[in-house]
Amino acid sequence: MEAIRFSKYDEYLELFECPIPQVTNADHVLVKVLFAGITQRDVHVIDGNVPCRRDKAFIMGQEISGAVVGIGTQVLVVTPGDYVIVNPFSSCQICNHCRSGHPHLCQQCKVERMMGLHENGGWAEYIIVPEIQIYKLCDNIPVELGILAPLLSVVAHALQFIEPLGLDKRILVLGAGVSGVLWIALFHYKGFRNVLVSEPNLARHEIIQQMDVNYEIITPAVVGQRISTDSSFYFDLVVDCSSNAKALQRAVDLLDSGGKLLVFGSKPMNARICISPFELQRRESKIIGVDVGSYTYPSALALLQCLSNRYLTYERLGIKVYPLRQYKEAIDHVRKRSVLKAVFRMPDDCKCL
């Protein structure tokens, strides 16, 4: 099979051939990957801005959907032929966070066990995954949309920190990449209408307009103008889906009293912002960071069911599909933000092994 591996130590990213992995553990599943997403975090990893495994090369890719083609003797839920998505997160189950019911805070996973960062991920034709990290797709969810499940699991995780939220609240979404688009779709689905979107890429303005949500979308330059001319230009909730610290810095200054800032977009590990403790305390504002969802994959799949037909199609969102061999072009397009989302599509030659 073909796969893409990355070596932090030797500083290379390459397409290579390797044997199809075999099921050797009783609770493991062999998945034929059909779609694998490329994230901004993947680009940060390649560019050295996000930590990852250093001692040996690994296969990248954290957004994975495919079909089951082989199972271990103790696999209970899935059978060959099922379409599935993969949770790349695997907690240790023994640290204090895991034992207190918060596996998403497990630091061992974040430094040793995350698929696509430390263990082999989904930029490959086949992968082996423990059944506990596998979720079946419902028949009415297209398999190509399964790659959005990891991101939606973080959205579902984040909702617990910002809800309840009245429908009259003023919301600002910073950044209209794929995460921003998912938040926009969710807000519209839930009935929020006082939503403003800030995005510098004019091509993404068109994508939001095609979603027919009737939200105003402006550039950061216009945001700056409104800050200087409108004394009431503040928000109850700011969702930062950007990938740079400059946008996040502005988000802090746009919080109304009692407002919440959700830091959602992936940033380089050396990014820094300046916060006034006086203003933070005076306004009683909250700054919330979210990284991964753990027990939120069932909610993510429910969100996919709710949003897929009305908001989420590859054509409507401008998601571009690439064969694995065009990985350099695909990653370059993500780095330059010339596509909303890039996805690898593997050959659809599923057969039970």
Instruction: Give yes or no for a contact between 268 and 168, defined as CB atoms under 8 angstroms apart.
Output: no
Q: Give the CATH number of the domain where residue 233 resides.
A: 3.40.50.720
Do 230 and 334 sit in the same domain of this protein? no
Considering the entire predicted model, what is its pTM? 0.92
What residues contact residue 337 under an 8 Å CB cut-off, 6+ apart?
177, 201
Q: Tell whether 271 is covered by a domain.
A: yes
- In the predicted model, is pLDDT for residue 179 greater than 60? yes
**Distance from C-alpha of 76 to C-alpha of 53, rounded to nearest angstrom:** 32
Do 82 and 106 sit in the same domain of this protein? yes
Q: Give the CATH number of the domain where residue 10 resides.
A: 3.90.180.10
- In the predicted model, is pLDDT for residue 109 greater than 70? no
Domain range for 265: 153-289
Q: pLDDT tier at 293 (50, 70, 90 boundaries)?
A: confident
Instruction: Show which of 289, 306, 327 is a domain's final residue.
Output: 289
Per the structure, the count of domains in the chain is: 2
pLDDT digits (tens, 9 = 90+) for 168-177: 999 999 999 9
Do 280 and 336 sit in the same domain of this protein? no
Instruction: Show which of 289, 308, 336 is a domain's final residue.
Output: 289
**What single string gives the DSSP state of each residue in 121-171?**
-SSBSEEEEEGGGEEEPPTTS-GGGGGGHHHHHHHHHHHHHH-S--TT--E
Count of CB atoms situated within 10 Å of the CB of 73 = 9
At 242, list the tokens.
């950007």
Amino acid at 110: K
Instruction: Give yes or no for a contact between 62 and 123, defined as CB atoms under 8 angstroms apart.
Output: no
Q: Tell whether 81 is covered by a domain.
A: yes
The mean predicted confidence, pLDDT, of the chain is 92
Q: Tell whether 144 is covered by a domain.
A: no
Do 252 and 328 sit in the same domain of this protein? no
Maximum C-alpha span of the chain: 67
At 179, list the tokens.
């995460």
Give the pLDDT of residue 310. Answer: 92
DSSP secondary structure letter of residue 191: T
Instruction: Show which of 241, 273, 289 is a domain's final residue.
Output: 289
pLDDT digits (tens, 9 = 90+) for 305-314: 999 989 999 9
Q: Where are the alpha helices (DSSP H) in 308-352?
A: 314-317, 327-335
